C-alpha cells in the first residue's frame, strides 16, 4: 500500500470519527488567535484557554497590548511557560502590527513568520484557522502520529509537513490537521497507547513499534 492510499483510508476514518472539528484555542479574531497560538507553544490548549481571558480582558488588540509593559504581560501569561520569551514576542509583534500593518494581522505567511516569536507552525495555524488559506500546521503531536501511521519518515517536522501535504488533498488540509489532533487525543496518545483499540493503528499503524 502506498502512503497516498494509506492516507486516503486514514482520512475516511478521521471523517467518520470527527466529521466536525472546533478550533481548540478560544479567540474572537485573527489577533487573539495569533496570541493564543503563540502562547500554546509547549503548553496545553486547556491552559491557554484559561489564561487568555485574563490577558484579553486587559488587551485584546495590539493598541491596548503595547500600553502594557512586557513585565505586566509576563506576569499574566506565566502559567503558560516560556513567559520571558512569549511576553517579549507579544509586545514586539503588537508594536510591529501597529507600525507596519495598521494594527491588522497580515494575511501573508512570510509576513507572519517575520513577527517576533512567530514560527512557521504558528503562522500556518493563523493562515488556516483565521483566514481559511490552505495550510497544514504540524506540531509535535501530528509529527508523531504521521510517523506512527507510516505517512512520513519522522525525520523532522518540515519533512512531515511536506509529506502530509502530498498525501492529503489540499482542500482538506485545514480540517485534517485538526482531525488528527483530536483523534490523537482520543485514540492515539503518546503514552498509554493501545494499538489494538485505535481505529488507525490496528490496521494501518507501525505495528513494530508496539511489540
Catalytic residue, from 139, 162, 165, 202: name it: 139
Q: 82 pLDDT band (50/70/90 cuts)?
A: very high
Ranges 46-55, 125-134, 202-211: which has the least confidence = 202-211
Nearest partner of 91 among 73, 103, 111, 75, judged by Cα: 73
- pTM exceeds 0.85: yes
First to last CA, the chain: 22
Whether 121 is catalytic? yes
Q: Are 104 and 112 in contact (CB under 8 A)?
A: no
Residue 170 DSSP code:
G
Q: What pLDDT is stored for residue 1 in this prediction?
A: 86
- Which is higher by pLDDT, 51 or 205? 51
Taking only the tens place, the pLDDT of each residue in 22-60 is 999 999 999 999 999 999 999 999 999 999 999 999 999
Catalytic residue, from 86, 121, 150, 175: name it: 121
Whether 139 is catalytic? yes
Residue 188 DSSP code:
-
Q: What pLDDT is stored for residue 155 in this prediction?
A: 86
Superfamily of 30-129 according to CATH: Hypothetical protein; domain 2 (1.10.340.30)
Q: 207 pLDDT band (50/70/90 cuts)?
A: low
* Top CATH class, 3-21+136-210: mainly alpha
The domain ranges of the chain are 3-21+136-210, 30-129
Amino acid at each position: 500500500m502506498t502512503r497516498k492510499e494509506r492516507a486516503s483510508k486514514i482520512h475516511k476514518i478521521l471523517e467518520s470519527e470527527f466529521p466536525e472539528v472546533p478550533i481548540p484555542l478560544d479567540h474572537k479574531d485573527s489577533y487573539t488567535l495569533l496570541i493564543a497560538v503563540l502562547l500554546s507553544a509547549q503548553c496545553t490548549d486547556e491552559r491557554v484557554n484559561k489564561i487568555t481571558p485574563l490577558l484579553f480582558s486587559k488587551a485584546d488588540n495590539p493598541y491596548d497590548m503595547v500600553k502594557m509593559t512586557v513585565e505586566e504581560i509576563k506576569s499574566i501569561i506565566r502559567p503558560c511557560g516560556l513567559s520571558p520569551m512569549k511576553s517579549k514576542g507579544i509586545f514586539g509583534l503588537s508594536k510591529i502590527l501597529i507600525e507596519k500593518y495598521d494594527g491588522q494581522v497580515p494575511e501573508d505567511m512570510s509576513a507572519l513568520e517575520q513577527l517576533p516569536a512567530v514560527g512557521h507552525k504558528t503562522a500556518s495555524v493563523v493562515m488556516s484557522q483565521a483566514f481559511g488559506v490552505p495550510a497544514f500546521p504540524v506540531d509535535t503531536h501530528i509529527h508523531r502520529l504521521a510517523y506512527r501511521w507510516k505517512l512520513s519518515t519522522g525525520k523532522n517536522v518540515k519533512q512531515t509537513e511536506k509529506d502530509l501535504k502530498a498525501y492529503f488533498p489540499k482542500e482538506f488540509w485545514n480540517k485534517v490537521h485538526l482531525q488528527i489532533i483530536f483523534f490523537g487525543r482520543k485514540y492515539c496518545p503518546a503514552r498509554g497507547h493501545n494499538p489494538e483499540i485505535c481505529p488507525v493503528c490496528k490496521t494501518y499503524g507501525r505495528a513494530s513499534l508496539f511489540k
